[in-house]
A = this chain, B = another copy of it.
Amino acid sequence: MPIYKAPIRDISFASREVFDFGTIKALPGCSDMTDDLVDAVFQEAARFCENELFPLNQSGDQEGCQWKNGEVTTPKGFKNAYDKFVEGGWTSVSSDPKYGGQGLPDSLEFILEEMICSSNLSFSLYPGLTRGAYTAIHAHGAEDIKQKFLPKMIDGTWGGTMNLTEPQCGTDLGLLRTKAVPQKDGSYEITGNKIWISSGEHDLTENIIHLVLAKTPTAPEGVKGISLFVVPKFMVNDDGSLGDRNKLQCTSLEHKMGIHASPSCAMSFDGAKGWLVGKENAGLSYMFTMMNNERIGVGLQGLGISEVSYQNAVVYARERLQGRSLSGVKHPKKPADPIIVHPDIRRMLMTMKSYIEGCRMMGVWIGQEVDISQKHPEKEERQRADDFVQLMTPVVKAFFTDMAFENTNHALQIHGGYGYTQDFGVEQYVRDARITQIYEGTNGIQGLDLVGRKLGMHMGRLLRRFFHPVQEFIKEHEDNEDLAEFVGPLAKSFDRLQRAALTVAQKGMANPEEAGAASTDFLSLFGHTALAYLWTRAVIVSKPNENGSESLFYKGKIDTARFYMQKILPRTSTLFATIMAGKKTLMDIDEEAFGPFDFSGFSQEITRAS
């Protein structure tokens, strides 16, 4: 049986010691965010996640969602847990009070998100998608649409979805085929097939509010002709009661590697009634409002699933007796020493610990900047924060989730053969984590977003939002001998990042394939450097407490930072070399040379792909 306890102590370290929660409290509307209130929210969320959501994680995976005649049944216990989730007010935490939300900061919501995803990634996708749909309607919908749909989405009575993908178009939305034909009453008739729609159909809520990308008959070609529509499963009468069933249905569920308790639906819209959100042909940009939020959310999924797999790996490593310490027997009364005595087991645990706690700091950082970008009274400050959020969003999405796949696999490996079975639940974490590298834009797309869009945007202004504070920090501390073992590697990695950024920007200008060839490695170099900066900050906070009452915790922080600098950060030397090697070896090779060379008479069997 796997275990999970919300890491409240470390969350507090990241959000109150490394970062200053006072920054958030000072924002308009946040003055009542006292430490006591925040503590109470965390404690209550922890209790709910540990006791209600987490116990359904393994059973949900094993049972999965069931489709029958267009209806989807969620696994046993999910409906009950969802009702309690709604009852506890967890669906409305950071939503707009105007429509019934609690208006708490996003930085707080992000922390809850980590806990929920640690407990039950599949479950998190039901309220997660509703929140995504809420965000798009809230940002771009007309007031009557907001009044009609938002309150019941916020209070959890209704769910929400995002319908983007079609069989022939995933990344490339220009290939979209779903049609939206305008009707005399101002509505549209939506017809087309969507796939991979998370929470597209289920039994948790009374209604499901679909957001659908489609093209009107007069729309321009490609991505410039995409509009966004709100298409409810059940019509909503003027008094808010439910009317007829709309002409849409879930025709099947995907059979997936993981997140079995989250239905990935094929949806068929057969002249379904929908209403335009915002203006025609502006759908793609609306979708990106929401998508950016979702991408940070997926990053936090990676953090959450990393944390739970780490906890299980630590507990197992301290319990499992196998072999003896290489430096002499540690537990002579036991038949063998616990495997945590072995250096290679520690290598995996420390890798996880340093990534997870590093990413937690980064999550808090971006969370606070999201709040500032939305709530700060000064426009300049909002813009500065928004620049930062835009820059870091692809990094958080891809770096956190690549890390999650590495972490969950370390946890599995530490469990040995047991890890490969359902017994300890870790193999599920690997399977569940794997999707986070794919959905809401594959991690390759995140890399392209970073180097192809964000890097050069406003003449590098976004980039400076990260470069400047790091540069100043290095300057401030570079002469401090006590910190040399941290600031030194940070400065070296930062130098690599700066040089890589310059090279990629220059070469990419002349040939975009140069940027494309460097994208994934550049994003990783960026993420690793950001963590080096954050770990150095963590050391500065920890040093004064090294010998205090929480010595174990703070000394552990410094030890972990040291490990990160010596054993993880050197990854940037390889990344720098491969970035600098450029596109040549990728693009020169003939397409035919990939093979296969033995496929004579071989008939293509891909049917769904193109």
Interfacial residues, chain A to chain B (CB-CB below 8 A): 1, 3, 5-10, 165, 168-172, 174-175, 195-196, 254-258, 264, 311, 314-323, 325-327, 335-336, 340, 342-347, 349-350, 353, 405, 409, 412-413, 416-424, 427, 430-431, 434-435, 437-439, 442-444, 447-448, 511-513, 515-517, 519-520, 552-553, 555-556, 559-560, 562-563, 566-567, 570-571, 573-574, 577-578, 581, 583-599, 602, 604-610
Contacts and interface: CB of A to CB of B under 8 A. Distances in A.
Given A343-B517, A586-B350, A552 B592 contact: yes
Given A175-B321, A409-B434, 8 more contacts: A5-B602, A175-B336, A256-B420, A264-B421, A317-B594, A320-B606, A344-B520, A559-B590
B311 A595 contact: yes
A604 B255 CA distance: 34
B336 A593 contact: no
B423 A608 contact: yes
Given A442-B416, A517-B347, A9 B598 contact: yes
Contact of A350 (B418, B420, B585): B585
Contacts of A168: 321, 335
A523 to B, nearest CB: 10
B170 A417 contact: yes
A168 B322 CA distance: 8
Contacts of A320: 606, 609-610
A598 B7 contact: yes
A269 to B, nearest CB: 19
B421 A437 contact: no
Q: Which of A349, A412, A416 has the most CB of B within 10 A?
A: A416
Nearest to A7: B598
B257 A175 contact: no
Contact of A598 (B1, B8, B571, B598): B8
B589 A563 contact: yes
Nearest to A567: B578
A429 to B, nearest CB: 11
Contact of A353 (B552, B563, B594): B594
Nearest to A586: B346
Q: Which of A311, A516, A552 has the most CB of B within 10 A?
A: A516
A413 to B, nearest CB: 7
B566 A585 contact: yes
Contacts of A343: 513, 516-517, 519, 583, 586-587
A559 B593 contact: yes
B609 A589 contact: no
Given A254-B421, A556-B589, A591-B340, A444 B413 contact: yes
A400 to B, nearest CB: 16
Contact of A420 (B435, B562, B591): B435
Q: Which of A349, A405, A584, A594 has the most CB of B within 10 A?
A: A594
A349 B594 contact: yes
Given A434-B420, A586-B347, A322 B5 contact: no
A516 B342 CA distance: 7
Nearest to A171: B322
Nearest to A335: B175
Contact of A593 (B442, B444, B552, B597): B552
Nearest to A321: B610
A203 B346 CA distance: 42
A557 to B, nearest CB: 9
A314 B596 contact: yes
Nearest to A426: B257
B581 A567 contact: yes
Contacts of A5: 596, 598-599, 602
A450 to B, nearest CB: 12
A200 to B, nearest CB: 14
Contacts of A519: 343-344
A35 to B, nearest CB: 17
A532 B602 CA distance: 33
A448 B574 CA distance: 25
